Structure 1
Amino acid sequence: MYIKKILWAIALIGLVIFGAIAYYIYGAMFQPNTAFDDEVAYIYVPTNAGYSEIRSQLEPLLDDIDKFDALASQKKYTTNIKAGRFAISKGMNNNEIINSIRSKNLPIKIAFNNQHNLKDLAGRIGTQIEADSLSILNAMTDEAFLNINGFSNATALGMYLPNSYEFFWNTTAEGFRDKMLKEYKRFWNSDRLNKAKKLNLQPNEVIALASIVYEESKLKEEQPRVAGVYLNRLRIGMKLDADPTLKYAAYKLPQYKNTVIRRVLNIHKEIDSPYNTYKNAGLPPGLIAMPDLSAINAVLNPEKHSYFYFAVDAKRPGYHKFAKSLAQHNNNAREYHRYLSSQGINR
């Protein structure tokens, strides 16, 4: 009888211990363990991160980090960490959290536009993905990559078409660059290539001209007409005489550093630069800024007309007056310069 009591006591103790263990395991695995009020929180796991880095991000998001630690160790997550951006939904239990941050890397939307050079673009992208701006810039300007793919330092910016794109947060600098090359090639489909060919232009030349069109006019409805003017000039061998190219050339000179040119003067027309389209015939060596897709499409689908000149409309700044003759254009230009003088804009 005494032995039976001992056995029953041992059994009861065993059940209690088993129950306690089961309850702990249940709590560690299946009880909600989030401590934030939003519907979802995100963690960003760097490449080659250790568990302590992930733990420091998780601790303020969880009610009980110790239980999470125990299950993470049991499921071998602590030694099998994946880089990326991961979501934790409100009310998730530890098992669900581990499954999410181990295998559900979420993409992000990257957007950019109107960058004036590769350095600015690299800086913008570097704030949106794991790769830093310097490594992105180095990948963008890699000489071997540019040569193989038909770009130069002057045309490289044209490979990056302003839009929004989907990437994983832990994309490498080279991964970003290579995907943008694929997007560039996808953009230049047979239809666009045929349109460029009819204009006697290569894709890089289309984008170079589009950058001038975009700097001249941000109005989508006006860009095809502006493009038509420049294409008319190219067709007859007339110099482009594009003011934005003078500004671009000037800003590369020390005396114009940290200045804003609001009025193009004759002195600017004397700048010795391949980008000075008042001195040099044809297109400049590359683009002067990143054009919107609307400007690229404007060059590929220009308005057909007989205009060779345009000047800013003094009565409607932002719009332009177009002219077929130089005499008419000079009248429009004088009107605009009188307006600038009246506003105290002398340089």
Structure 2
Amino acid sequence: MRIPKLLFAAAAALFILALILLLGLLLVSGGDPIGFVQTQLIRLRLAGREAVLNTPRGSDNTPLRFVVEPGDSPRTIAANLVVAGLIADAEVFVDYVRLQGWDTQLEAGTYFLNAAQTIPQIAQSLTDSRGSFIPFRIIEGWRLEEIAEAVDANPLFGFSGAEFLAVTAAGTQPDESFAARVGLPAGASHEGFLFPNTYSLPPEITAHGLRDVLTDEFLAQVSTAGVESAAQEQGWSLHQVATLASIVQREAVRIDEAPLIAGVYRNRLDIGMKLDADPTVQYPLGQPGDWWTQITRADYTGVISPYNTYLSPGLPPGPIANPGLAMLQAVVAPEASEFFYFQANCDGSGYHRFARTFDEHLANSCS
């Protein structure tokens, strides 16, 4: 009878030991021993795949659009990341987001990721869809086609420059309230009203949406700065202001000289004198890769276009570029002077020499 007693004692000791171990497991696991064991197994798996976890899939840092649809599971997202060439191992991604507690925090949205990111970096990015945006800058004096080229040069857009031109070029249908507010002639393009600035755009933006962002910014800027009210007081439409401002933008190298240049053009308009503005000859000659080509004296009369202000009096049919706020302000608040002529200084400074008469203008010549 001694052997059963020994077995009973051993069984009791094992039970007590198991109870102690269970209580210890409960203590260290925060009351979730199953979860604790699963976590430790994930840690072990990741420890064996550390190189995959922390080594980027490649070296190309070109941003790629990656979409997480509503309801996508971590496994679905991981599989799509592999297909996109952004990660090498779906299981490592799933294990990592589970270990971090992010498996329920991956957000639906459009992201910009690249193959030079590690799995932890990509996983963290996918927890905040607000962090994804498209940076886009428009330079003062760019014409429509240059903006379209910038769209094509930005891999983050989901549309092409051609699609952007299709909603902004001449003959496209503008927003009616916008057209009425700026005095846009029927059939005119949006040239002049795509406000130059640096933008942070939502990844789902369309060509039409980009156009509206840019024109809304134009309206906001001219309203806040008082350009719109000043134009109304002077009997000018915003279309006329933008047209002259676009010419000043292409002429004024130095921003502080813009009001004086604008004043010269206003003086010419006041007496019915042709503007004789070189940029209005460059505009119809523009070609891909050379939108603002050098012109010769022969082009003054040889370029047959309604935009050529050497041939046509008054303002051209519309803006020739997209001017910045300083140029719009210069047109409605020009510097008063008796000047009717100007030409570039001979010192390459970007400033101009101004003259009251044509004879003075000739005397200012560098030759």
CA shift, 1:59, in A, is 2.9
Q: In 2, Cα distance between the equivalents of 1:288 and 1:140?
A: 14
2:88 is aligned with 1:54: no
CA shift, 1:166, in A, is 2.4
Q: CA RMSD in A?
A: 4.4
| Residue matched to 1:195 | 230
SS of the residue 1:158 aligns to:
coil
**Structure 1 residues 21 and 195: alpha-carbon distance in aligned structure 2, compared to 1, 3 A threshold:** same
Q: Deviations over 1:140-195 (max 9, x none)?
A: 34823355531466441222111112223343333322222221221121621122
**Structure 1 residues 331 and 149: alpha-carbon distance in aligned structure 2, compared to 1, 3 A threshold:** same
The residue identity in structure 2 corresponding to 1:162 is P
**Structure 1 residues 200 and 184: alpha-carbon distance in aligned structure 2, compared to 1, 3 A threshold:** same
Is the Cα–Cα contact under 8 Å of residues 55 and 118 in structure 2 kept in the other structure?
Answer: no
| Residue matched to 1:204 | 239
**1:297-316 matches, cutoff 5 A:** 297-316=329-348
Equivalent residue in structure 2 for 1:163, among 180, 197, 218: 197
**1:119-198 matches, cutoff 5 A:** 119-126=145-152, 127=154, 129-133=156-160, 134-141=162-169, 143-146=172-175, 149-150=178-179, 151=184, 154-189=188-223, 191-198=226-233
| Worse-superposed segment, 262-271 or 46-55 | 46-55
Percent identity reads: 25
The residue identity in structure 2 corresponding to 1:280 is S
Q: In 2, Cα distance between the equivalents of 1:260 and 1:185?
A: 27
| Residue matched to 2:325 | 293
Q: In 1, Cα distance between the equivalents of 2:91 and 2:80?
A: 18
CA shift, 1:58, in A, is 5.4
**Structure 1 residues 121 and 43: alpha-carbon distance in aligned structure 2, compared to 1, 3 A threshold:** closer
| Residue matched to 1:118 | 144
| Worse-superposed segment, 140-149 or 68-77 | 68-77
The residue identity in structure 1 corresponding to 2:54 is A
Structure 2: 5+ residue stretches without partners:
1-7, 27-32, 70-75
| Residue matched to 1:345 | none
SS of the residue 2:157 aligns to:
coil
2:260 is aligned with 1:225: yes
Is the Cα–Cα contact under 8 Å of residues 193 and 242 in structure 2 kept in the other structure?
Answer: no
| Residue matched to 1:65 | 93
CA shift, 1:43, in A, is 7.3
CA shift, 1:261, in A, is 5.0
Number of residue pairs the alignment of both structures matches = 321
Is the Cα–Cα contact under 8 Å of residues 342 and 361 in structure 2 kept in the other structure?
Answer: yes
Q: In 2, Cα distance between the equivalents of 1:175 and 1:219?
A: 33
Q: In 2, Cα distance between the equivalents of 1:308 and 1:218?
A: 18
Q: In 2, Cα distance between the equivalents of 1:257 and 1:98?
A: 41
| Residue matched to 1:341 | none
Is the Cα–Cα contact under 8 Å of residues 227 and 298 in structure 1 kept in the other structure?
Answer: yes
| Worse-superposed segment, 307-316 or 151-160 | 151-160
SS of the residue 1:237 aligns to:
coil
Q: In 2, Cα distance between the equivalents of 1:258 and 1:98?
A: 44
| Residue matched to 2:130 | 105
Q: In 2, Cα distance between the equivalents of 1:188 and 1:84?
A: 33
Q: In 2, Cα distance between the equivalents of 1:309 and 1:198?
A: 27
SS of the residue 1:160 aligns to:
coil
**Structure 1 residues 23 and 308: alpha-carbon distance in aligned structure 2, compared to 1, 3 A threshold:** same
2:56 is aligned with 1:24: no
2:354 is aligned with 1:322: yes
Structure 1: 5+ residue stretches without partners:
339-347
2:83 is aligned with 1:83: no
The residue identity in structure 2 corresponding to 1:65 is F
Q: In 2, Cα distance between the equivalents of 1:91 and 1:266?
A: 60
TM-score under structure 1 normalisation?
Answer: 0.73
Q: In 2, Cα distance between the equivalents of 1:268 and 1:12?
A: 98
Q: In 1, Cα distance between the equivalents of 2:112 and 2:293?
A: 43
